[in-house]
Amino acid sequence: MARATFENLEASKKERLQKELQTFFEETPMKSINVTNIVKALGIARGSFYQYFDDLDDCYFTVLREATGQVHHVFFDLLEKNHHDPEATLWAYQDFLLETLYDHNLRNLYRPQFLAFEKASLSHGKAYIKTHYGKSEANLIFYMMAVFHELIKDSMTEDYSKEEFKETSTQYIEYLLGGIGDERI
């Protein structure tokens, strides 16, 4: 978690740094992600970096936590907007992921998490779900999200194109909605 000096920054400066860091992680090849390149990209002193973050992982997870929270909140917003209808929510979430991951490059921000840090950032979202939904609905949400997390991870490791992601996610949604024994599938 970011240090208090980062958390206590003036809101506009904190937001600007958050966006610049997200852009850095989205646009920088994994082999070039390091503190030296971050401070160059942001135009800050190396000492400032360490006033804000303990290390590179702390910086990355701070950025990822914010972006992941936003992506998960969209799922919950869609669930509410669609009156808890799983079918409408899943299709709307697919559209959102296609646009966000591929058209807005968020896929590259997730790449290190799914390839190197997969388990470290999921517990926060689960705690939120458990406190805001009943047990049965929470389990359904965990199930649907697990399918999409696996899909996103596969899209990284297999380097899916946007079309491949859409084709595979469509099949996954059909499985979720119809069950694997559905003769239509």
Residue with tokens 């992982």: 57
| C-alpha–C-alpha distance, residues 53 and 51, integer Å | 6
User: Which phi and psi angles does 162 have, rounded to 5°?
Assistant: -60, -40
Cβ atoms of residues 114 and 35 within 8 Å:
no
Q: What is the pLDDT along the chain (185 residues), one digit of tens a residue?
A: 889 999 999 999 999 999 999 999 888 887 888 999 999 999 999 999 999 999 998 898 888 888 777 787 898 899 999 999 989 999 999 999 899 888 777 777 777 665 554 444 455 567 778 888 888 888 888 888 888 888 988 888 888 999 999 999 999 999 888 876 666 55
Cβ atoms of residues 162 and 102 within 8 Å:
yes
Alpha helices, H only, 28-134 = 35-42, 46-52, 56-81, 86-97, 106-115, 123-132
